[in-house]
Amino acid sequence: MTAIAVGAYFLIGGGDGGGSVADDGPHRLTTPATVVDGQYKKADDVDSGGFDNDDLKNAEKHGVKNAKDVHADYQAGDKNNPLAMSVINFMGVYGEIDDPEKVVDAMFAEVEKNATSDSEGEVVGSPKAYTPSGLDGAVLKCQEMRIKDDSSDSGTPAGPSEIRMPVCIWGDHSTIGAVIHADMADALSGKSPDLQKAAELSAKFRKDVRVKA
């Protein structure tokens, strides 16, 4: 799961339980050509990797029945000016989910476990729940992740000592989605992400990729 944040970086180089989450029928996840009011375009030349077999097994272990994997990367801005770009790294699964919040919490636990075992990454604080407009009753939590930049050890020009990004994960009774949004100028300046804005973007993104089954 640490790869979620790492994927976004390399584009340029418990709770209330399931009873509190609205069940609006079976849905699946898609990867449309554009998302978030058409601002972001799918990056067909970039592979975010998605979940591997172990990730899918973990998803099923944590409560996603018949889990299917979906992933994509999206970009906005001028590719000739990386600092003016924003990127979205998306990884998701869909299936049958009895307790969405339990799965979301389990996924954040996996993020923290993998970040702890990786000397180049760490999570900050604990996942915080958000309810932006348009979320339509799903559970959504966000947390800051930091990735250390060891380029100075490799002889490349010095950059920021670390890159900070928000990890947001939503859950409902048929879909789970993990979203990294990075404004590259902010990320490379070492600025902490605005988790509220990340949550609002994630809610819009969810509307674009989630369709009735």
* Per-residue model confidence as pLDDT tens digits over 128-144: 999 999 999 999 999 99
Q: What pLDDT score was predicted for residue 57?
A: 76
Q: Place 190 in a pLDDT band, splitting at 50, 70 and 90.
A: confident
Q: What pLDDT score was predicted for residue 166?
A: 94
Structure confidence by residue, pLDDT tens digits, 51-73:
667 777 777 777 889 989 999 99
Residues whose CB falls within 8 Å of the CB of residue 53, separated by 6 or more in sequence, listed in order: none
Asked if residue 11 lies in contact with residue 180, where contact means CB atoms within 8 angstroms, the answer is no
Q: Place 36 in a pLDDT band, splitting at 50, 70 and 90.
A: very high
Judged by average pLDDT, the poorest of 105-119, 141-155, 188-202 is 141-155
CA distance 112 to 54: 17
160's tokens: 């920021």
* Residue corresponding to tokens 């990867």: 31
CA distance 201 to 203: 5
Report the predicted TM-score, pTM, of the whole model to 2 decimal places: 0.84
Q: What pLDDT score was predicted for residue 83?
A: 85
Q: What is the DSSP letter of 15?
A: -
Q: What pLDDT score was predicted for residue 49?
A: 59
Average pLDDT in the chain: 82
- Mean pLDDT over 77-83 rounds to 86
Q: Place 82 in a pLDDT band, splitting at 50, 70 and 90.
A: confident
Q: What pLDDT score was predicted for residue 34?
A: 97
Q: Place 157 in a pLDDT band, splitting at 50, 70 and 90.
A: very low
Q: What is the DSSP letter of 157?
A: P
